[in-house]
Amino acid sequence: MDFSVVNWLAVIGAAVVAWLFGAAWYMSLSKPWLKAAKLDPATMKRSAVPFVVSFIAELIMALVLTLVVGAITGGEPNLIAGLLFGFVLWLGFIATTLTVNHRYEGFGWALTLIDAGHWLGVTLIIGAIIGWFGAPAAPAG
Average pLDDT over residues 85-111: 97
What local confidence, expressed as pLDDT, does residue 136 receive?
A: 82
User: 39-91 pLDDT, tens per residue?
Assistant: 999 898 889 999 999 999 999 999 999 999 999 998 888 999 999 999 999 99
Q: Which of 9-13, 74-78, 96-100, 112-116 has the lowest mean pLDDT?
A: 74-78
Average pLDDT over residues 123-136: 94
Please report, for residues 9, 14, 51, 67, 75, the alpha-carbon distance to residue 82 in angstroms, rounded to integers and kept in the order given.
Answer: 15, 11, 25, 11, 12
92: exposed, middle or buried (Cβ count in 10 Å: 0-12, 13-18, 19+): exposed
Please calculate the CA angle 12-10-59 and round it to the nearest 5 degrees. Answer: 35
The pTM of this model reads 0.93
